[in-house]
Amino acid sequence: MDKQQKVTIEGEKLLDSIPSGSGITLWNDSLFIITDDAPYIYRISLDDYGYSQTLLRGYDSADYRIPKPVKPDFETAAAGKLNGAEHIFAFGSGSKSPTRDSLLILKASNLADQRIVPLTSLYRHLQTETKTPADQWNIEGLAITNDTLLLFNRGSNMVIEIDWKVFTRFLTEGALPAPGAYYHLQLPEHEGHLARVSGACTLNNEGDILFCASIEDTPNWYTDGPVVGSYIGIFNRKTRQVQFIQILKDKQGRVLKEKVESVEVLEQNTDGSIRAVAITDNDKGNSRLLEIVIR
């Protein structure tokens, strides 16, 4: 990846009926959107951007947004295989135990086929293994690549890698998995605040990961506040180095003051450019999709 390459926003779409977009993943011809406080998972067609919603089991369809004290805070989305079938996985942030310590698993071909797996024991185990204090734990990114699960902790910009087969044994047998590796991403500062990872996805089979990171003007990393900016970056699992990172700007060249929560690759072109989609959350009850191009 040439460090001189640039990210541009090519288009945008307001999702005025989807609140708090936090995780996005691609399967077949559809985008699946997870939110941190809505009782639904949303499916958007890439053909016409029409969408459908499926109620999450155990939640009230009358709620547009789940109250903050009890919301599950699902912050991630990725597609992966379980028992030979493609599923959508969404991890709770773990920032408040036990209400946010859950894994949502949905069958991609039938979103009504879903289950919730408690993660309190797993999160506490990983905190111990990685020497991470509970008050610095906030899982906001997820990628499944080359038979490896990658969890991204916003609290410390840490990447935790777990062998996928080992992780699925946790799902079926409850055996706690040891991380295969864990390390920290070195991210830039802007206006005196450190960028912190907010989402990720697999870019290719060579170990490259596309990720997003955001900054809020707050005295600590976990308090909501005015958004200072968001970054798009690429790092390589083999070298564990950030190869490329750039703050997002609007078409007028101004820093985009929106919180990018998740990113997903749509296509990689023969000229080396990458087309991707990102989702933003403004905490006001709607979300936005950004079409971005790295060239």
> Does the pLDDT of residue 224 top 80, yes or no?
no
Q: Within a 10 A sphere around the Cβ of 40, how many other Cβ atoms?
A: 21
Q: What confidence category does residue 221 fall into, taking pLDDT thresholds of 50, 70 and 90?
A: low
pLDDT at 1: 47
pLDDT at 172: 93
Mean pLDDT within 139-144 = 97
pLDDT in tens, 68-110: 999 999 999 999 999 999 999 999 999 999 999 999 999 999 9
Question: Do the beta carbons of residue 268 and residue 259 sit within 8 Å?
Answer: no
Cβ neighbours for 41, distance < 8 A, ≥ 6 positions apart: 32, 33, 34, 53, 54, 56, 88, 90, 104, 106, 111
Cβ neighbours for 20, distance < 8 A, ≥ 6 positions apart: 35, 36, 37, 38, 65, 281, 283, 285, 287
Range with lowest mean pLDDT among 87-96, 127-136, 218-227 = 218-227
Mean pLDDT within 228-253 = 95
What is the C-alpha to C-alpha distance for residues 61 and 43, in angstroms, rounded to an integer? Answer: 16
Q: What is the mean pLDDT of the chain?
A: 94
Mean pLDDT within 210-216 = 96
Question: Do the beta carbons of residue 210 and residue 200 sit within 8 Å?
Answer: yes
pLDDT at 3: 55
- What share of the chain has pLDDT > 90, as a percent? 88
pLDDT in tens, 1-59: 455 689 999 999 999 999 999 999 999 999 999 999 999 999 999 988 899 999 999 99
- What share of the chain has pLDDT > 70, as a percent? 97
pLDDT at 70: 94
Q: Which two tokens stand for residue 41?
A: 């998972």
> Does the pLDDT of residue 217 top 90, yes or no?
no
Q: Which two tokens stand for residue 164?
A: 């996928």
pLDDT at 146: 84
Does the pTM exceed 0.85? yes
Cβ neighbours for 7, distance < 8 A, ≥ 6 positions apart: 232, 246, 248, 292, 293, 294
Matching CATH number, 7-294, of 2.120.10.100, 3.40.50.300, 2.170.190.11, 2.60.120.1440: 2.120.10.100
pLDDT at 5: 83
pLDDT in tens, 145-177: 989 999 999 999 999 999 999 999 999 999 999
> Does the pLDDT of residue 219 top 90, yes or no?
no
Q: Hey, where are the domains in the chain?
A: 7-294
pLDDT at 193: 92
